[in-house]
Amino acid sequence: MNMKLTKILLTLLATTLFAQASSAQLGSVLKNAQKAKTVADNNKPWTPEQELAIGQASAAKLISVFHLYDNPDMTKYVNLVGNTVARQSGRSVAYHFAILDTEVVTAVSLPGGYIFITKGALANLKNEAELAGVLAHEVAHVDHRHLEREIRAQKNADFAKTEAASHVPVGSELVNMAGSVVTRALTLKVSRDKESEADKFGVELSSKAGYDPSGLRNFLQFLTSVPTTPQTTKALGLWGSTHPPLADRISSLNSQLPNYPNNGQKLAERYAWYVNPPAFSHDAAPTTAATSAPTAGAGELDGIVSQGVIVLTGGKLAEGTRVKVRPQQ
C-alpha cells in the first residue's frame, strides 16, 4: 500500500516537475514571441496612414518651434522647385514644402513628405539649382525613410516605451511620437551613411530634373567660407550639430559630380525674381499677375516664323542657353 502510494506520489511529482518546466518554457517562448512581434512591427515601414499622421503632427511640432513664414508666392515657388525634383524619386508620397520663419540656415524633412526650408537658408542660396539641390537632399531622406528608420530603431532598443507599432497613433501617443521625431530631427546628428546616401540620391534627383547637379555642393562650399561671428554661429550651429562635417560631404560630392551631365539649369534669374529683398517683405511680395518670372537663360530673343523658319529679329542670349519656343499670344 505504502509502496503504491509512494509510486503514485512520485509519478505525480515527476509529472508536475515536467509540467512546470514546460510551462516555464512556454512562458518564456510566449514572452520571446511577443518581443519578436514588437521587433517585427517596428521593423515594418510605417503604413501610408501612419506616416501621414506622424508627419502632420511632427510638422505642427516643428512649426511650433520656428513658426511658418507666410508668403504665398515664395511658398508656391519652393513647392514648384521641390516637386520638380521630388517627381524624379518615384515614391508615391504627396510632398509638401514650406518655409520656416527663422534666420537659422537649415532644411528639415519629416515623415510623410513634409519638407521645410528656412528663410535664412533661402537668403543665402544663389540660384534655383542650389535650392533644388538642398530640397532634393531632403526628398532623398524621405524617400529612404531615414528619420522613420531611426525612430523605429530607437523603439526596438527601448521596449519599455514601445507603443503598438501596428496602428495609427492618436492622441497623446501621437503627440509624444511627434515630439521625438522633431527632437531627433533638430538635436541629433544624422549618421554619415544616411547623409551620404541622401547627398548621392539628391544629386541624382537634381540632375534627372534638369538642374545643374552641383547645386548642393556649391551651397555647402559657400557655408565653409562663412566667417565665424556670433551671428553666423547662431545661424549655422544647428546645421553643424545635425550634419556630418561639410568638408567630407563636399569631397564625396566632388567625386560623384563627374558622373552627371554638367549642362543642367542654374536659373539664377528666376531664383532672384522669387527670392529677393522685396519678396521677403509681407507687403511687397511679387505677384505673378504683374509680370512673369524669367525663363531659362539670360536675356531674350525676338523672332518671327517665316516659311517654317524662325527668323530672329533681335535680342541676345548667353552662349549655351537652351531655347524652347512658344508662340506669343
Looking at residues 165 to 224 of the shown chain, list those that interact with other proteins (rule: CB under 8 A): 172-173, 175-176, 178-179, 182-183, 186-187, 208-211
Binding to other proteins in span 49-88, by CB under 8 A = 56-57, 59-61, 63-68, 75-76, 79-80, 83-84, 87-88
CB of 307 to other proteins, least distance (A): 26
Dihedral, 267, 246, 236, 117 alpha carbons, nearest 10:
40
- Contact with other proteins (CB under 8 A) among 114, 213, 216, 253: 114
**Which residue, 25 or 43, has its beta carbon nearer to other proteins?**
25
Q: For other proteins, which residue of 324, 327, 328, 329 counts as binding (CB under 8 A)? A: 324
Q: What is the largest CA-CA distance in the chain?
A: 125
Positions in 119-158 near other proteins (CB under 8 A): 119-120, 122-124, 128
Sequence-distant (6+) residues with CB within 8 A of 27 are: none
Q: Are 194 and 142 in contact (CB under 8 A)?
A: no
Angle at 244 between CA 243 and CA 246, to 5 degrees: 100
Query: For residues 252 and 269, which CB has a smaller minimum distance to other proteins in the complex?
Result: 269
Residue 326 binds other proteins, judged by CB under 8 A? yes
| Nine cell digits for residue 264 | 543642367
Show the binding pattern over residues 265-294: x = contacts other proteins (CB under 8 A), - = does not.
x-x--x-----xx--xxxx---------x-
Q: Do residues 218 and 268 touch, judged by C-beta distance below 8 A? A: no
Nearer to other proteins, 255 or 317 (CB): 317
- Percent of residues in the chain assigned helix, strand, coil, to nearest 5: 60, 10, 30
Tell me how far, at minimum, the Cβ of 66 lies from other proteins, in Å: 6
Nearer to other proteins, 126 or 194 (CB): 126
CA 290 vs CA 128, 266, 285, 286, 287: distances in Å: 21, 24, 11, 8, 6
Please give the residues from 4 up to 43 whose contact with other proteins meets the rule CB under 8 A: 5-6, 9, 12-13, 16-17, 19-20, 22-27, 30
* Beta-bridge partner residues of 118: 100
* Sheet hosting strand 114-118, strand order edge to edge: 96-100, 114-118, 107-110
How many residues line the site for other proteins (CB under 8 A)? 103
Closest CA to 301 of 322, 270, 273: 322
Q: Smaller CB distance to other proteins: residue 240 or 303?
A: 240
In this complex, which beta carbon is closest to other proteins, that of residue 252 or of residue 293?
Answer: 293
DSSP category for residue 276? S
